[in-house]
A = this chain, B = another copy of it.
Amino acid sequence: MAPTSRDENQKRLDIHNSSIPVICRSCEARHRGICGALTSEQLTQVSRHTTRQQVAANSEFVSTGDDVKHYSNVLAGVVKLTRLMADGRQQIVGLQFAPDFIGRPFRDTSEVSAEAATNVKLCSFPKSVMDEMIAKSPDLERRLYKQALDQLDDAREWILALGRKSAAEKVASFLLMIAENVDPEKLDRDAPICFELPLKRADIADFLGLTIETVSRQITSLRKAGIIVVEHNRTVTVPDLERLRAHGEMDTG
């Protein structure tokens, strides 16, 4: 979900410390994710049990009701957390980007399923090892707590959108969320914002509580109004962010 202010004192000096495990040294999430709260000893300990994995787009790697034995960090790509109803209706209840942590401490079975929306790189480690470490490291727990609070804020933001926004506003808000998540590096000042949609229409629909057709129509209408430019169905350019914002964020606060 939309990362809020997540990273504070994450910069720690491992430049001088060669005891950082090899697998972690070049990790994209090394400082930004929860690992930033670990000492090099802890990092070494976790890394002994760590596995990197690639998950192909659209494959589910945790199912509702599963016994979960591992936590993961998202290193790249986008993960959908979904809930399914008996008759097949589906709803995305959370989106996780790098360097988010996936897992539910203090509970062994998953209430949601996790599925790769794009190709995803994960760093996984056994729940047992991590749980022990969480119990011993208040810093680590605090970081997890902060992430949970951010996710709660995000969830509430989407509760407002799902409950009260029109289809047009939902789609605009979604595009805005993605736009605001674009790598600051890729942001060319004064150039229009441009990005690849990480979700296909069906996923956007599942996220917004709409149908594919409605999503498509709303995107078309934003396109015809000149608020966005779409190429190859997935590449979106926003000439004027404020104009997009005006369509989705009639929000107070």
Contacts and interface: CB of A to CB of B under 8 A. Distances in A.
A67 B89 CA distance: 40
5 contacts: A85-B251, A87-B250, A93-B159, A111-B253, A148-B149
A112 interface: yes
Contact of A159 (B148, B159, B250): B159
A90 to B, nearest CB: 7
Given A141-B142, A148-B149, A163-B209, A112 B156 contact: yes
A156 B153 contact: no
Interface in A140-162: 141-142, 144-146, 148-149, 151-153, 155-160, 162
A65 to B, nearest CB: 5
A252 B164 contact: no
A169 to B, nearest CB: 9
B83 A253 contact: yes
Most chain B beta carbons < 10 A, residue from A111, A112, A253: A253
A86 B251 contact: yes
Contact of A144 (B93, B145, B159): B145
A interface residue count range (under 10 / 10 to 19 / 20 to 34 / 35 or more)? 35 or more
Contact of A209 (B104, B149, B162, B251): B162
B252 A86 contact: yes
Nearest to A84: B252
A77 interface: no
Nearest to A110: B253
A85 B250 contact: yes
A91 B159 contact: yes
Given A83-B252, A111-B253, A252-B84, A89 B164 contact: yes
Given A91-B164, A163-B91, A163-B208, A85 B252 contact: yes
Given A111-B156, A141-B145, A156-B83, A64 B253 contact: yes
Which are the 9 A-B pairs with shortest beta-carbon distances? A163-B209, A93-B156, A64-B253, A162-B162, A155-B155, A145-B145, A91-B163, A138-B138, A148-B148
